[in-house]
């Protein structure tokens, strides 16, 4: 553990803050043209940022966030990582993998959020299957008992003489969001190498950290990029969550981002049945990109966010001549939990 932390290196100085990162995955993920989907949507400058390829037990956007959260908060005395999420949480799977990489134990407090979450395939495949390989302790709870279960876990671990580090949902904290400040710069310079200037980024918005980090990153670069956050569940408070996190990032870094709540582009029209429910729009979006480009999305986050991109284009919310990036935030392992779902069996 000490050796691993010693290899945690300073990444950069942002504002008044020296940023530390604990390497866990492969940054520098590809930025590629989406040729088939570009033709389908008549959006010639459509690119995809492949953050499904960050590595670490199936990849996804939480790898970037965990690298910076753990770089900031993990100390040699910590012996257990504890986090929360839904049954098929990608963040929980990647936290368990990060713990394994660091030689730590992990405990996942997983919440039943879907009304049909007792489908045996949903409970035994996808991220749950990968978690069994990774070896975390898994605590199951419902939404009402979620906070109590977490408190009980942390109390029990401390009473056992262990020293847990709690990671909030999605690692969507000021330090975790630095992963997407870094990604904004990475994406911008990749596009510049192709002779392009990004004008839109479309991403899923769950716990707000990815969208907030991208907004902050482009603002720190001095680039006017619209970051569209597509809600995966209840959309009413997403803009407020992003704004609150941006305020926290400002305080953490000692900078003034000057982003008003009205500037935050939060789209709630593609929830499509609710959290974890692959409605018609989600399934169709997944099929479009799979058939056009061989890219696999998931039904919880990226399927809904690509449906949002398709809808925004049809509404004329972005010019067909603009350079638009679809951020693939991962989640593909969770797709296998939906093998019995009617959306994929009709």
Return the SS3 of 138.
strand
Q: Which of 8, 38, 89, 175 is catalytic?
A: 89
Please name the helix (run of DSSP H) or strand (run of DSSP E) that holds residue 85, with its range, or none.
Answer: strand 80-86
User: Catalytic residue at 89?
Assistant: yes
Of the candidates 137, 140, 133, 78, the residue with the CA atom closest to the CA atom of residue 113: 140
Rounded Cα distance, 189 and 163, in Å? 40
What angle is formed at CA 275 by the lines to CA 271 and CA 280, rounded to 5 degrees? 50
| Residue 93 main-chain phi, psi, to 5 deg | -60, -45
End-to-end CA distance of the chain: 49
Cβ within 8 Å of residue 276, ≥6 positions away: 86, 88, 113, 114, 117, 299, 300
Cβ within 8 Å of residue 133, ≥6 positions away: none
- The residues that are catalytic are 89
């Amino acid at each position: 553990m000490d050796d691993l932390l010693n290899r945690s290196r300073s990444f950069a100085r942002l504002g008044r803050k020296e940023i530390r990162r604990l390497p866990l995955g492969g940054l520098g993920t590809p930025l590629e043209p989406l040729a088939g989907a570009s033709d389908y949507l008549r959006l010639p400058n459509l690119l995809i940022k492949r953050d499904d390829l960050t590595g670490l037990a199936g990849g996804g956007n939480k790898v970037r966030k965990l690298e910076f959260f753990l770089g900031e908060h993990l100390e040699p005395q910590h012996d257990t990582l504890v986090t929360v999420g839904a049954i098929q949480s990608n963040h929980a799977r990647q936290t368990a993998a990060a713990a394994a990489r660091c030689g730590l134990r992990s405990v996942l407090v997983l919440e039943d959020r879907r009304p049909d979450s007792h489908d045996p395939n949903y409970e035994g495949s996808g991220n749950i299957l990968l978690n069994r390989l990774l070896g975390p302790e898994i605590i199951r709870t419902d939404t009402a008992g979620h906070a109590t279960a977490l408190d009980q876990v942390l109390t029990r671990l401390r009473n056992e003489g262990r020293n847990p580090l709690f990671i909030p949902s999605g690692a969507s904290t000021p330090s975790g969001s630095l992963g997407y400040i870094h990604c904004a710069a990475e994406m911008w310079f990749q596009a510049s190498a192709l002779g392009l200037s990004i004008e839109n980024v479309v991403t899923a918005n769950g716990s707000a950290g990815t969208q907030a980090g991208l907004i902050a990153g482009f603002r720190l670069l001095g680039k006017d990029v619209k970051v569209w956050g597509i809600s995966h569940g209840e959309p009413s408070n997403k803009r407020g969550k992003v704004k609150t996190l941006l305020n926290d990032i400002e305080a953490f870094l000692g900078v003034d981002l000057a982003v008003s709540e009205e500037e935050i582009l939060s789209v709630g029209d593609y929830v499509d049945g609710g959290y974890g429910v692959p409605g018609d729009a989600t399934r169709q979006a997944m099929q479009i990109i799979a058939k056009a480009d061989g890219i696999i999305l998931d039904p919880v986050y990226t399927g809904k966010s690509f449906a949002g991109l398709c809808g925004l284009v049809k509404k004329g919310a972005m010019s067909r001549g603009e350079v638009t990036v679809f951020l693939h935030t991962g989640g593909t392992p969770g797709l296998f939990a939906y093998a019995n779902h009617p959306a994929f069996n009709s």
